Amino acid sequence: MTKKINVGIIGGAGYTGGETLRLLFNHPHVEIAFVQSRSQAGKPVTSTHADLVGETDLTYSTDFNKPVDVLFLCLSHGESKKLVAENKFSDNTRIIDLGNDFRLGDSVAGREFIYGLPEFQRNKIKTAKNIANPGCFATTIQLGLLPLAEAGLLKEVHTTGITGSTGAGQKLQETTHFSWRANNISAYKTLTHQHLGEINQTLKSLQPGFSEDVNFIPWRGDFTRGIFVTSVLESKLSLEEANKLFKEFYASHPFTHVSNEMIDLKQVVNTNKCLLHLEKVGKKLVIHSITDNLLKGASGQAIQNMDLMCGFEETEGLKLKGSGC
């Protein structure tokens, strides 16, 4: 029996905090040391994650100074950097930040954060002390482009993506009011989404001369979980060559698969998978990619990174029963 590690969550009351918690409860090698929440301190975790009723009596803690092996930061943008700067954590504590504070290579308090996209740099993650967990759109878009970038074949890309409402967080907002969002579609942050920074950083690292745009149109969807992305670019690859390139690239990666059949979003909802499907029409290569924004796009990938850092099986705690229908 593997020794269990101690794990803490800071900011456990939000969506990514809750999803991280759900995954950790079923992880065979993890003991939860604490789940902190400033707003919910003292209350049972079931007060915000009501689906856990009957499974746990855990309450939110105020502080987080118990020593842990792995610490998950599930905070709003900007808060992680502040927290790491203002608090002293043990050198033995690995930090996995689910926000976007450290994704562009920033260091704080002597801690260097490694960009935690296993399909991009699994080996660096295995030896990392701190992880900047990728964004949900960033994950889904990159997984559709990595093999092309590594092969130096990227050109200007036109990408449209649609996201579930949980991507917008738990805060009450007009764009997440049910009466507005039900049966509705809308666009936002056209060509300026904040995930473009990390996307370009990865792509340029793989294909150094790449200077073209990833033109990304984000849409809000009327569902709670999942991201569907379609990317279009010119390519001289035949469909067969493109499929071969992608399948070889992902052959050793347990969560990312190239489907020969057209894909639909619910194939990945409630799983840590990313599915890809390629088409070639005329000169255009088209890549569809899908993830669950809270899993492969957030908490699932965070656990995957923990598994890699801690020497566990990469899929440990992540063999989830998908929703299917």
Catalytic residues: 136
> Could you say which of 87, 173, 238, 252 contacts its own copies (CB under 8 A)?
173
Contacts of its own copies in 10-29 (CB under 8 A) = 15, 18-19, 22-23, 26
Measured CA to CA, the distance from residue 27 to residue 197 in angstroms comes to: 32
Q: Does 268 bind its own copies (CB under 8 A)?
A: yes
Q: What is the per-residue binding string for its own copies in 72-101, x denoting contact by CB under 8 A?
A: ------------------------------
Q: Are strands 5-10 and 30-36 parallel, antiparallel or unpaired?
A: parallel
At its nearest, how many Å lie between its own copies and the CB of residue 22? 5
Q: What is the per-residue binding string for its own copies in 288-307, x denoting contact by CB under 8 A?
A: x-----x-------------
Q: Which residues of 235-247 are buried (b: 16+ CB within 10 A; e: fewer)?
A: bebeeeebbebbe
Q: Does 281 bind its own copies (CB under 8 A)?
A: yes
Nearer to its own copies, 51 or 86 (CB): 51
> Could you say which of 6, 160, 205, 243 contacts its own copies (CB under 8 A)?
160
> Could you say which of 75, 225, 293, 301 contacts its own copies (CB under 8 A)?
225
The alpha carbon of residue 318 and the mean position of all alpha carbons in its chain are separated, in whole angstroms, by 13
At its nearest, how many Å lie between its own copies and the CB of residue 292? 10
Q: How many CB atoms lie within 10 A of CB 17?
A: 29
Q: Does 222 bind its own copies (CB under 8 A)?
A: yes
At its nearest, how many Å lie between its own copies and the CB of residue 312? 17
> Could you say which of 192, 209, 211, 311 contacts its own copies (CB under 8 A)?
192
Nearer to its own copies, 19 or 101 (CB): 19
Q: Does 228 bind its own copies (CB under 8 A)?
A: yes
Contacts of its own copies in 235-264 (CB under 8 A) = 255, 257, 259, 261-264
Measured CA to CA, the distance from residue 41 to residue 22 in angstroms comes to: 18
Measured CA to CA, the distance from residue 74 to residue 20 in angstroms comes to: 9
Q: Does 59 bind its own copies (CB under 8 A)?
A: no
Element (H, E) at 288: strand 284-291
Give the tokens for residue 312.
Answer: 């566990």
Compute the CA torsion angle 165, 166, 170, 171 (nearest 10 deg): -40
User: Which of these ranges, 31-39, 117-125, 129-137, 218-226, lies near its own copies under the rule CB under 8 A?
Assistant: 218-226
Q: Does 162 bind its own copies (CB under 8 A)?
A: yes
Residue appearing with tokens 């991009």: 120
Element (H, E) at 24: helix 15-25
Q: Does 279 bind its own copies (CB under 8 A)?
A: yes
Q: Does 39 bind its own copies (CB under 8 A)?
A: no
In 20-128, DSSP assigns E strands to 30-36, 70-73, 94-97, 107-108, 111-112, 114-115
Contacts of its own copies in 109-138 (CB under 8 A) = none
Question: Whose CA is closest to 35, among 12, 69, 63?
Answer: 12
| CB hemisphere CA count around 210 (13 angstroms) | 24
User: Which of these ranges, 92-100, 126-134, 203-211, 216-224, lies near its own copies under the rule CB under 8 A?
Assistant: 216-224
Residue appearing with tokens 């915000």: 48
